[in-house]
Structure 1
Amino acid sequence: MTADGGNHRAERDVELAEQLQEFARRFVDGSGPLDPEAVVAQAAEAVPSALAAGLTLIHDDERPRTLAATHPIVEEVDTIQYDTGEGPCLEAIEENDLIVANDLAGDDRWPKFCVRAVSETDVRSMFGVRIFLGPGNRGALNFYATEKHAFSELDRGIGAVFSTLASLALQHALEQRKSDNLLTALESSRQIGMAMGILMSSRLLTAEEAFDQLRKASQHLHRRVREVAEEVMHTGELPVVPPRTDGKD
C-alpha cells in the first residue's frame, strides 16, 4: 500500500469513527433522528464509492418494499428485484449475510434481474448486507454504484457496520409503529366504551344493545364506529340516521 493510500484509508477510518460516535450520541440522548432514512443517508455518505444506499424490508410473506433510499435509482433497481424475485439484496436477506455483485453485466446468479437491471438502469455494482430484526421481519442494507467492481473490502466492512445501525433504527421504527397503533386502539376503545355508557344511561339499554346501535349507525352513515362514538360523547345522542328506502333496518 502506498503512503497516499494509507493516509486515505486512515482519513476514512477517522471519518467513520466520528460518524459512529455521532450516531451513538443521538441514540443515547435522543437529540437526533433515529430513523431508517437518517441511517441510510449516513451509510451512503460513509461509502463514497456508492451512488446510493437503500433499505429493503420484508414483513412476513408480503412483497418486499424499499423503506428508505437516497436516490431514485434505488427504487428502480429494487422494483426489478421484487418483480423478478431475485437479486443481490433479496439473496442477502434470505440466504447470506453479505452478497456482492461486482459486474451485473457478467453475473449469472440472477439472470432475470441482471438482464433488466443492465438494460433499464445505470447500476453495475451492488452489495447487500442482511439486517437482523424480530420475528416476521427481514431486511437488508444495500449499496449501488454505476461502475463495475466499485466496492472495496473496506466499503463492504463499512456497510456491515452500518447494517447494525440500520437494524437498531428499523427496530426502533417498528416498535414505535406498534406503540402508535396500540395507543390508537386504546383511544378508540375508550371512546366506544364511553359512548356505550351514555346510550345505556339515556336509553336504558344493555351493553350489547348500546354497541349494536353504534354499529348500525356506523353502517348506515358509512362512518367508523369510533367516529360515531366520538359524536355521541360530544352531543349525548346518536347522529341522525336517514331512513332506509330498501325496507331494511
Structure 2
Amino acid sequence: MDTEVFARQLGAAVRDLNAQPDPPHTLQRMVELTPEFFDSCDYVGVSLVEHDRIRTPVASTEELRRLDESQYALGQGPCFDAIRREETVIVDDLAIDDRWPDWGRAMVAGLAVRASISFRLFTRDNTWGALNVYSEQPGAFAQDDVLHGQVIAAMCAVALARSINDDQLASALETRTVIGQATGIVMERYGLDPETAFNVMRRLSSEHSRKLRDLAAQVVAERRLPGSADGVGGS
C-alpha cells in the first residue's frame, strides 16, 4: 500500500472511529476497519486489559474470539506478550514457531492461521489491550505491514481511550444526576436537610449491599425510600 492511499484510508478511519457512540461500537469498527490496511488479513481480534485479567470482547469470528482469549488462560501467545512484554510481536509461521506451542497448534488446527502480528494498544498513561491481525498465509506480513500496523494501533488506542473515558464520564454524570434527584425527593418527603438525606441513602445502600446509584434510581421511580411508607428507612 503506497503512502498516499494509506494516508487517505487512515484519515477516513480516524473519523469513522471518532463517530462511534460507545466502546462496544468502537471495538467492532476497529475489527472491521483493520483488514483494509493489510494485503493479507483473514482475521482480527481486539483484546482488552480489565483490572487483573485480559479478555477478547470482539473478533472477526466467535472461534477466533475463543482461541484469542485462550492465550490468557494458557499464559502464552503473541497477544499476551504484546501486552505484557513487547509492543509488537510478529509471527511468520505458527506451525513451526516454538514460542507458544499449545496455543500455536490450536490456531493452526482451528482456523488454519499461520501468521500474525499483535500490536499493543497504549497511550501515554495506560495500556488498553492489543490489536491482533491474523493471516492464513505463512510469512504474510512485510516490514511495511508492521510500520502501518503500529500507526493503526496508535490510532485505535487513542480512539478507544477517548470512547472509554467518554463513556465513564457520561456514566458518572448520570449517576450524579440520579443521586441528586433522589436526595431532593428524600429531603422533601421526610423533611431532611441535604446532608442527612444523602447519609440516609448511603446507610440503606450499605445495609442492603446495593450500589448507591441503584438505590437512588429506585427512590426516583417510587418517590420514597425502599421499605418505607412514611418513616425514614422504615424506622
Counterpart of 2:95 (choices 97, 105, 110) is 105
Secondary structure of the structure 2 residue equivalent to 1:131: strand
How far did 1:178 drift? 1.4
* Letter of the structure 1 residue corresponding to residue 41 of structure 2: A
From 179, 184, 207, the counterpart of 1:194: 184
Structure 2 CA distance for aligned equivalents of residues 193 and 44 of structure 1: 50
CA offset digits 1:32-83 (Å, max 9, x no partner): 338233233222111130102222111231x212243233343033122122
2:232 aligns to what?
none
Q: Rg larger in 1 or in 2?
A: 1
- Partner residue in 1 for 2:109: 119
Count matched residues.
222
Measure the CA separation in 2 of the matches of 1:25 and 1:209.
43
Superposed displacement of residue 239, structure 1: 6.3
Aligned partner of 1:192: which letter? A
Contact 2:83 2:127 in 1 (8 A): no
The aligned runs of 1:222-241 (5 Å cut-off) are 224-233=214-223, 237-238=224-225
CA contact (8 A) 2:58 2:65 kept: no
Q: Determine whether 1:33 maps to 2:24.
A: no
Q: Which amino acid aligns with 1:183?
A: L
Unaligned runs of 5+ in 1: 1-8, 243-248
Code of the residue aligned with 1:89 in structure 2: it is C
2:103 aligned partner, one-letter code: F
For the residues of structure 1 that align with 2:201 and 2:169, how far apart are their CA atoms? Answer: 29
SS in 1 for 2:95: helix
CA contact (8 A) 1:228 1:239 kept: yes
| Structure 2 partner of 1:6 | none
Cα distance in 2 for partners of 1:66, 1:213 equals 36
The corresponding residue for 1:49 is: 40
Report if aligned partners of 1:127, 1:143 keep a CA contact under 8 Å in 2. yes
**SS across alignment from 1:105:** coil
2:170 matched to 1:183?
no
Gaps of 5+ in 2: 230-234
- Deviation string for 1:83-112 (max 9, x for gaps)? 212101111111111111111111111122
Q: Which letter maps to 1:33?
A: Q
Displacement of 1:226 in angstroms is: 1.6
Aligned alpha-carbon RMSD (Å): 3.3
In structure 2, what is the Cα distance between the partners aligned to 1:168 and 1:224?
Answer: 31
Q: Percent identity, please.
A: 24
Contact 1:51–1:144 (Cα < 8 Å) also in 2: yes
Q: State yes or no: 1:94 paired with 2:81.
A: no
1:59 and 2:45 aligned:
no
CA drift at 1:229: 1.3
Q: By how many angstroms is 1:184 displaced? A: 2.5
Give yes or no for contact 1:40–1:69 (8 Å, CA) kept in 2: yes
Write the letter of the residue equivalent to 2:155.
L
TM normalised by structure 2 equals 0.79
1:83 to 53, 64, 73: 73
CA contact (8 A) 1:98 1:127 kept: yes
SS of 2:106's equivalent in the other structure is helix
- Using a 3 Å threshold, how does the CA distance of structure 1 residues 131 and 208 change in structure 2: closer, same or farther? closer
Identify the residue that residue 207 of structure 1 maps to in structure 2: 196
Pick one of 129, 132, 136 that aligns with 1:146: 136
